[in-house]
Structure 1
Amino acid sequence: MSATLEAPPRVAQAAALRPDFAEHPYPTYALWRSQGPLLWSDAFFGGAWLLTRHADVEAALRDPRLSAQRTGGWVMAAAEGQRSEFLPFQRLFARAMLFLDAPDHTRLRRVLQAAFRPEALAPLQPWLESLLRAHMQAHADAGTFDFMAAVARPVPARVITRLLGAPDSMSDDFMRWCEDLAVFIGAHAPQPHHIRPAQRSLLQMCDYFERDLLPQRRRHPQNDLASLLLQAEARGDVAAGAELLAQCAMLLFAGYETTRNLLGNAVHALLSHPEQWQRLCERPDLAASAVRELLRYDSPVQWTGRRATCTLHWHGQTIERGDLVLPLIGSANRDPERHACPDRLDIERPQPGALSFGSGPHVCLGAWLTQLEGQTVLRLLAQHWPGLRLAGEPRRNGNPLYRGWQYLPLTVA
């Protein structure tokens, strides 16, 4: 960000959201990039600045003047005068590491980061491959099946359940709770009917952790994330109560939501580009490169949010203290100034680096876990089910932030 002396008025409202924005955001992003790097829109959270280009999105994610602490106004605006009803939700929601700045964010991230390093996750690989084969084999022989229900939803749920230390029997509850949260977090104009199910699910999730899993792990520690957090609580690195519960909920939500949408988006994109799918089937060793490109091509997270902590002058506009700024990750990943022919899928594209996992201090803690799951799924599908084909009409999830599929019918030819 470069400071200027003048403070011009805000720009005109950005192009209105088209009715099909959640289904087809990329033409809108292209229009916004052509209009400018920084636009004001009333369509997001009652008013927000939109950053449309890669360089500015990355700069914003690294700028300490833009705070991740943004839940108060967001939740209370959705409450529409019923604030007391949603105070329990806000109390927990605001303590998640995703919505904290340094030094609290740094402290909590230090507790968890070792558990998500590649060497820590490597022992998961054989179990993950076995799990995927079981889920695919149960459906591939039955003709047409829904990939989301067969693989993309249950596999990430089982993975994060295992890492937390919860029993497999909790996976269905975990998926339901996370999906209610995703509807609220993903709404660009959230209303009470979005937040009520989210609050109910967050409270149920935290009640499970507080009454069941955490007491078990206090009595019998294991090599899992719940035990890791309890050890940090004992050292004073994680506060008991809301902070501890919020991290458990955050790990569950983040470990499930991004990965399920990556898997669905990746498989749909590959099968919609048969030449790319064929290339992967011929060379399954391209799975890692394919996942990186698919994350760029159709990011499972389309934007994030920050609050200005001071008045900023940027691109000839004045961002006031307290203004909401939305770095548009999905737009940045299709910026032609960063990626040549950005609307073309190429699983062997030289990677200058996309922003699907963010950048700076809040870069996604579980990025390697999500990539590991994505690589494993694509490699095994290409090796064992090269005849996979789209079958019927898929259905998007309708979530403009957490872009993914609700229903993705496939068949094995």
Structure 2
Amino acid sequence: MIRNVKKLVAAAGAIAMSVGLFAGCGGSDNSGKDAGVGTKDNPVTLTFWTWQPTDAQWKGMYSAFEKKYPNIKIKWWRTSEMTDYQKKLQTSMAGDEGPDVFGIQTGSMVDEYSRFADDMGKLAAKDMPGWKDKVSNAASKQVTDKNDKLVGMPTITSGSEYILYNKTLLNENGINELPKDYNELVKDTQELKAKGLIPMALGAKDGWHLDDLFVWISNQYGEGDVYKAAEGKAKFTDETFVKTMKAWKKMVDDGIFQEGAVGTSTYPDARDNYFYARKTAFLPTGSWHVSAVLPNDETKGTKVEKDDLGMMEFPKVGDKDSGPTTGVDFALCVNKESKKKEAAMKFVQFMTTGEGQQQWVNTLQGAPVDKDVKVSLPSNTSETAKTSIDLVTKGQSASKLDRKLGYQELNDEIGVQMQNVYTGKTDVNGALKAIEQVNSGLDRK
């Protein structure tokens, strides 16, 4: 189901400028023998490409991994921009220059990268005995392709839509209670705007966040309709989606987001330059950002380092409070061309059912897939943080709604058309017709 290869290969010239990063990739060893787990004099170096964990989170994880496997080195490359990540990964894989290990998330990436990944079920049966008793079955299903191949080992789950808030900054501006509904949210954002702050910092330049919002809102008008439409069993011009896009336009017209949001990326703009810089008290985001409520390296050195931060569910904007969406936000795949699969599976096990899983979960980047792992909070965790963590944990556990749709072209078009509605380039009906045109042309084989 690789539908984007041609246009991505066109970008190969630009990406080839970073050729140094391809050194040591999965297909570079033509010996045909697995390199094993290395020795002190001859260590194995894995290449790992990803968009997460963050630099701060990786530092601790890799340190723990090196202690456990001193003869396995990992050369990682990361970008926080999902579009850049997929562009580089797809192009390099098509040219047999991909990394040994790479990350994917649920949705379109599962089928899109299936042909490049080894069968994780077979690898795990050999190198991770007993994994099925520990790893969430629901999470495993989300990263299984249409041919029943486990494409990657699920690692963490996450969902949307939430709001990261700065309680200290709200209180300083006379807002002492969180908004209980959408109308109160509008009122609060306008009060903040009147005092010179950004109402709510949205990274609307990122299509991935906009299609998250679309899926989340649509379930409030017709629960499950969006998944039916994505499989060709309904149309995106149907009433559910007319209401969805009108709700989006109302959010824009109500001015709850900053001016120029479509030119703002989530990272670093909305998070670092607005929220962490104390220019806004609200950041619409996913469950992964609950990590910021803890005292850790993520906010260290920023203007919110000593503030009381929390997370709330975004108030419903539709007819029904359908709750948050959820899905596997990160799974580890092993390149089928890699000559270092034994070492790669040590890393996969470490991150899924080993110490890496515990370390990552403790940062609250996502919910664990290992059923035996529980979050261990530091002693100085605030009451606001504890309440927020409990809310997100329960919300994600109860959610039955998928965060992502299974076709990247569809996700992309939804994001583009939401941007067009935001800027007034097109109206609601025109946007939905464009989405349905892409939807009706999808290859669903």
Instruction: Please indicate the TM-score interval, normalised by the length of the shorter structure.
Output: under 0.3
- The normalised TM-score by structure 1 is 0.26
